[in-house]
Amino acid sequence: MPKIKIDIEKCKGCGLCVLYCNKGQLKSDKTLNKKGIHAVKFIDEDKCTGCSFCAIICPDMCITVYK
């Protein structure tokens, strides 16, 4: 099972990872990071396939996928 780590403090909330998640398991969090931005969070890591599209598309390299 893959493990996903999102650095919410680096996240600028662009939403590209949300668009490219083929399982629809990413969404904007309701809480704010230190920059005052709604960072991205995982809905259900158990449904993640570990495809790494989210990590590849992230322009700030905020997402790391461990397989």
Domains and CATH numbers, the chain: 3-66 (3.30.70.20)
Q: What is the pTM of this model?
A: 0.89
pLDDT in tens, 4-21: 999 999 999 999 999 999
DSSP H helix total and E strand total for the chain: 2, 4
pLDDT in tens, 26-59: 999 999 999 999 999 999 989 999 999 999 999 9
